[in-house]
Amino acid sequence: MFENLKTPKDITKYTLMRGVTDFGNLNQFDLYETGYSFLTIISVPKYLETLASENSNFDRLFKNYLHVLEYEFRGLDGIEDVTSDSIELTNGISQMNVISKVNQQSASQVSMRYFEKSGSIITKVHEIFLKGIKDSRTQFKHYHGLIDSGLLEPGYENEVFSFLYGVTDNSGMQLEKAYLLLSAQPTKAETSIYNSEKGDIATKEITCEFNCFPINGDTIDKKAKLYLDYLNTVIVKSSSDFGYTGINKIVVPSAT
């Protein structure tokens, strides 16, 4: 159980905050820190994948979209608490509550924030996705011609993403928690970014909202840890070691 997640330090030998707190012994203050997470795309809607194979312009747009989702990922909101319901035990005079049911989120909506690129990468893909599932004027499902041409049959199975979401410790080496976000669908295209006022110049941060079914467990933790191990072989964590663009242009004059 939890074998692929970070193992906490043994703090049972410390007095912590009972009596005098030993602020000289920092081993006992091993606090959880937020802000370290990653997202990877497990699968994409077959309908968008097929559309990309049939249209080179959309293929380029879609590849950029997938790259932005993973590489500009800054965090996710929408993971809910595990909660419980209670029943009352009573003798008619006094009462107490005991747990009768444990609840974990099922149908959910998660949100992720991105800065839209020039060329409206995210907005365009979401608009294409939504209008192909149900045309906004007729409400027919058409997949932008893929159904009429016989390339795809209509079906929910052709319309969903799957994401792996992982949260790490502050070293990026250990996994704190992982979720598989199944049957994910973007719920809107933020075409409101095209509102404007002369002289009001600003970038646009958009919120990508996905309906999904989040699940977690030992098997998902194992896969997420393997992916995290891979990430740690390809990302640079020390900025002093990074090969910034332009470094190779530094020319040292030869001695005369």
DSSP string, 114-170: EEPPTT-HHHHHHHHHHHHHS-TTT----GGGTTTTTS----GGGS-EEEEEEEE-T
Strands 95-103 and 108-115 come out as unpaired
Domain annotation covers residue 188:
yes
pLDDT of residue 241: 86
Give the pLDDT confidence of 141-159 residue by residue, as tens digits: 999 999 999 999 999 999 9
Q: 19-71 pLDDT, tens per residue?
A: 999 998 888 898 999 999 999 999 999 999 999 999 999 999 999 999 999 99
Q: What is the pLDDT of residue 247?
A: 87
Is residue 52, in this structure, part of any structural domain at all? yes
* pLDDT value of residue 142: 97
Query: Is residue 87 included in any domain, yes or no?
Result: no
The total of structural domains in the chain comes to 1
Instruction: Write down the pTM of the prediction.
Output: 0.92
Inside any domain, residue 255: no
Is 89 contained in some domain?
A: no
The secondary structure of the chain in percent helix, strand, coil, rounded to multiples of 5, reads 30, 25, 45
Predicted local confidence at residue 26, as pLDDT:
87
Which residues are within 8 A (CB) of 90 and not within 5 positions of it... i.e. 6 or more apart?
A: 96
Residue 169 lies in a domain: yes
Residue 245 resides in a domain: no
Structure tokens at 8: 């906490």
Task: Identify the pLDDT of residue 254.
Answer: 83
pLDDT below 70 — which residues of the chain? 256
Maximum CA pair distance of the chain?
101
* Residue 135 belongs to some domain of the structure: yes
Q: d(Cα 61, Cα 65) in Å, to the nearest integer?
A: 6
CB 141 within 8 Å of CB 133: yes
- The confidence score (pLDDT) of residue 94 equals 96
The parent domain of residue 216 ranges over 26-77+103-194+203-234
